Structure 1
Amino acid sequence: MHIASNLPGQRLRTSVLHNQLPPPEGITIGLVGRGIASSLSPLMHEREGARQGLDYRYHLIDFDRLGLEDAHLPAILAEARELGFAGLNVTYPFKQAVLPLLDDLAPDAAAIGAVNTVVLNGARTVGHNTDCWGFSESFRQGLPDVARGRVLQLGSGGAGAAVSQALLQCGVKHLAIYDTDPERAVALAARLHRLLYAEVEVVTELAAEAPLADGIVNATPVGMTKIPGLPLATELLESRHWVADVVYFPLETELIQLARGRGCPVLPGGGMAVYQAVRAFELFSARKADTGAMAATFQAAIEASAAAQ
């Protein structure tokens, strides 16, 4: 790998993707993020591509493994476009950082203020958000009958922006948002109120808010393999709560394990991972994806991983 720094004001150039040239008539995708070695997106996308007779290749562009700085994001995006990639998925911590680098935003991404899917169509880059729909579908199926009067959401970054909108669209009456960056949470609450006329507030004391909530949603990266731990104190979680997590590697995060142990209804991040991948595949390939097949691929991989441990 070669990274060359340019003079101030010039674009950083890389050769990170030089060995991932798209094949003729094929579809090449990348996932950009940090700590993504365990991602099952490549497997889901490539298996669905093969099922449809496509030469479909999906690469991980892990900034941690490649030793890249956040400042290299524009260079990676430009390099993928120049090489002929069909698109990029974007995950932590770049879902909002990528916004100013794009030529256009689809209505969903513009409303949410975060992008997890970039379609590279010739010279133009268009950002989409499939996380919101992905979480909504997972929530409706995984927690269909839970109380939705008041929900505490942890995190207001790229994932949090999508999840908050999904929760409100799924019937949550009052959403309380907590973030270690209160200004970011305030900005998200203002956007949700403006777009959806929603009852949203920013909270700063989890100990005061958790007892009031019907459900708790983790939309932070805490719990990922590279960021282990719990996003809130264990004593704040009660058996009457339902709990959802957006993290899926590992699928059984410490939060989900704790909630299961206390008898809470739980929603791991796997459903969101599958549904967002379904919508992203369709954007990249312009073909209808088989949701059942992609879900089966995901489940088989999870079971194989568990068996190997």
Structure 2
Amino acid sequence: MSNSATILRAGLIGSGIQASLTPAMHVAEGHSHGLDYRYDKFDLDLLLGGADHLAGLIQQAEIDGFTGLNITHPCKQAVIPFLDTLSDDAATIGAVNSVVLRAGRRHGHNTDWWGFAEAFRQRLPNADLNRVVQLGAGGAGAATVYAILTLGADAVTIFDPDVGRVSTLVAAMAARFPSACISAGSDLAAAMAQASGLIHSTPTGMANYPGLPLSAELLHAHQWVSEVVYFPMETALLAAARRRGCQVVDGGGMAVFQAVGAFQLFTGREANARRMMRHFMELTDTPTVNENHPGAAG
């Protein structure tokens, strides 16, 4: 711990977050800047009432002098009514993963979309974005579709069992990206037959939600597959995609770059993305930057 007089506190609110690597990345980067940085986890699974504690946790964080809070599942959309302002990106996406607490006001941001975009751009700079299929329209899905459209996707078809949620997301993205064709999907097999790539933005594949989000038979060698899950790093979907000959992007890059963005919001310091990537790879027992882990500009 640094002897610096600058002490910063931040935290993460969500369900089942004990394995999250975000706190460790923030603290290590803070120490590299000479900051006394404390980062706490508020796991809703361990609190009676769960997400009902969200408003109270934010209020207590303000009282305790926190500079920021990261927000994850299932609160990225539920947190919005408790905030004073939203960045333009967060307002369009309709989800917040970073809340800056400053001068008695709560400012919502979304660094997930940039994290996904930066990892994807570095790993697959020449990816065919003509026809993209996305699974998931929740908080993470809203960020990833915004990201892929920002990168220039021509058409995106979104699948989610919550019809209302998909419709809301499609409308928001169509308003922001009027030249793109954005639609709610109804026939996954037909969509995948024409797709140039697949984005997976649901919890399926996580340790607590094992399995595949779609039949491996729907994947084709000419397609790319991008995953948001990073625990485990090699999900069943990525393993199946490799076997089918697809290019893949795991969830590690998004996890690092969203943390880079949040660190800068919370501390006002420019994070060293390369250093944070190295630390992340140490935490996940990945010895070097390889084809599965996009490199990071310093």
What TM-score, normalized to structure 1? 0.88
Asked whether the equivalents of residues 182 and 204 of structure 1 are also in contact (C-alpha less than 8 Å), the reply is no
Question: Do structure 1's residue 176 and structure 2's residue 193 form an aligned pair?
Answer: no
Aligned residue for 2:267?
285
Aligned residue for 1:134?
115
1:100 Cα deviation after fit: 0.7
Q: Structure 2 matches for 1:9-24, cutoff 5 A?
A: none
Could you report, residue by residue, the CA deviation over 1:164-195 in whole angstroms, capped at 9, with x for unpaired residues? 01101112110000001011111111111111
Question: Do structure 1's residue 259 and structure 2's residue 268 form an aligned pair?
Answer: no
1:263 Cα deviation after fit: 1.8
Could you report, residue by residue, the CA deviation over 1:5-35 in whole angstroms, capped at 9, with x for unpaired residues? xxxxxxxxxxxxxxxxxx9741111111112
1:229 Cα deviation after fit: 1.7
1:136 Cα deviation after fit: 0.8
Aligned residue for 1:207?
189
Q: Say how many residue pairs are matched.
A: 283
Could you report, residue by residue, the CA deviation over 1:271-301 in whole angstroms, capped at 9, with x for unpaired residues? 0111110010000000111111101000111
Moved more, 66-75 or 41-50: 66-75
Asked whether the equivalents of residues 205 and 212 of structure 2 are also in contact (C-alpha less than 8 Å), the reply is yes
Aligned residue for 1:303, secondary structure, equals: coil
Aligned residue for 1:41?
22
1: CA distance, partners of 2:208 / 2:151: 30
2: CA distance, partners of 1:212 / 1:116: 32
Match for 1:210: what amino acid? M
Could you report, residue by residue, the CA deviation over 1:123-152 in whole angstroms, capped at 9, with x for unpaired residues? 111100001111111111011122111000
1:261 Cα deviation after fit: 2.0
1:72 Cα deviation after fit: 1.4
Asked whether the equivalents of residues 35 and 226 of structure 1 are also in contact (C-alpha less than 8 Å), the reply is no
Aligned residue for 2:205?
223
Asked whether the equivalents of residues 69 and 100 of structure 2 are also in contact (C-alpha less than 8 Å), the reply is yes
Asked whether the equivalents of residues 165 and 192 of structure 1 are also in contact (C-alpha less than 8 Å), the reply is yes
Aligned residue for 1:145, secondary structure, equals: coil
1:213 Cα deviation after fit: 0.6
Match for 1:70: what amino acid? A
Q: Structure 2 matches for 1:87-236, cutoff 5 A?
A: 87-197=68-178, 198-236=180-218
2: CA distance, partners of 1:292 / 1:125: 29
Asked whether the equivalents of residues 35 and 225 of structure 1 are also in contact (C-alpha less than 8 Å), the reply is no
Match for 1:191: what amino acid? A
Aligned residue for 2:230?
248
Match for 1:262: what amino acid? R
Q: 1:44 to 1:69 in 2, by over 3 A?
A: same
Aligned residue for 1:257, secondary structure, equals: helix
Match for 1:40: what amino acid? L
The answer for unaligned runs of 5 or more in structure 1 is: 1-22
Q: 1:267 to 1:189 in 2, by over 3 A?
A: same
Asked whether the equivalents of residues 153 and 176 of structure 1 are also in contact (C-alpha less than 8 Å), the reply is yes
Match for 1:235: what amino acid? E
Match for 1:103: what amino acid? D
Asked whether the equivalents of residues 239 and 264 of structure 1 are also in contact (C-alpha less than 8 Å), the reply is yes
Q: 1:262 to 1:67 in 2, by over 3 A?
A: farther
Could you report, residue by residue, the CA deviation over 1:36-58 in whole angstroms, capped at 9, with x for unpaired residues? 22111111111100011000111
2: CA distance, partners of 1:261 / 1:228: 18
1:201 Cα deviation after fit: 0.8
Match for 2:193: what amino acid? P
Q: Alpha carbon RMSD of aligned pairs, Å? A: 1.6
Match for 1:288: what amino acid? E
